[in-house]
Amino acid sequence: MVSLLTLSPHRPRRRWLAPLFGAALVAGLDQAVKRIVLEVRPDIAVIPGLFSVTFGTNTGVAFGLFRGFPLGVTSLGLAMLVGILVYLVRVAPVAGRLERTGLALLLGGAAGNLIDRFRLGYVVDYLDVYVGEYHWPTFNLADSAITVSVALLALGLRRPSSRTAEAPPAGGVGGPWASQP
């Protein structure tokens, strides 16, 4: 049986520690801000007509989808958190800095929102972006971390990696579908 920590002897074994620390930092900061928001219950127009800090809650997922299924949403969040953690431990040793940063933000954001679900039964939102009467759904620091993580992971996947340069793709140069001369 292969252990989750079985890695190439050429890669450091603990490259997942820094992303794990980063994730804990993101989740901790998210929870600290949410604690303040819960105590103060702000409604502050920071930039009138564009941005406010406003207390809100969300029992669903992104944009309030699936609000009527709190147990399902929490269970899905927990499964995703475990999946991200396993992926982080398996991939971090061979991933670049961009991917590890993306995984740290993803794990921290997911953990921050999951802590809310277990502790409160809903996620605390407080960032409200709008133009006039048109509002983007209220969100929080954890949601922002998740969004940035997706962008970083997408960028990391687009960058050529040293692993792909080591061996040509299956089927020779250009892969099995490359046009033959």
| Domains of the chain, residue spans | 17-158
The conformational region for residue 49 under phi > 0 = left, psi -120 to 50 = alpha, else beta, is left
User: Burial of 79 by CB count in 10 Å (0-12 exposed, 13-18 middle, 19+ buried)?
Assistant: exposed
Among 26, 17, 19, which Cα is nearest to 110's?
26
Helical (H) or strand (E) element with 131: strand 123-131
- Give me the pLDDT at residue 24, please: 97
- Angstrom distance (rounded) from CA 166 to CA 36: 50
* Whole-Å CA distances, 89 to 1, 103, 110, 115: 17, 10, 16, 21
DSSP state of 157: H
- Give me the pLDDT at residue 162, please: 47
Residue 116 designated active-site: no
- Give me the pLDDT at residue 157, please: 79
Say if CB 123 and CB 58 are below 8 A apart. yes
- Give me the pLDDT at residue 60, please: 84
Q: 80: which 2 tokens?
A: 């995703």
- Strands in 43-47's sheet, in edge-to-edge order, are 43-47, 51-58, 123-131, 134-135
Q: Is the pTM of this model over 0.75?
A: yes
List residues bridging with 128 in a β-sheet: 52
pLDDT, tens digit, 9 for 90 and up, residues 90-116: 887 788 889 999 999 999 999 999 999
Residue 125 designated active-site: yes
- Give me the pLDDT at residue 177, please: 46
Catalytic site residue from 30, 116, 128, 143: 143
- Angstrom distance (rounded) from CA 99 to CA 120: 31
- Give me the pLDDT at residue 73, please: 86
Q: Which residues of the chain have pLDDT under 50?
A: 1-9, 162-169, 175-181
Residues whose CB is less than 8 angstroms from the CB of residue 66 and which lie 6 or more positions away in sequence, other chains included = 60, 72, 73
Q: What percent of the chain has pLDDT over 70?
A: 79
Cα atoms in the 13 Å half-sphere on the side-chain side of 103: 28
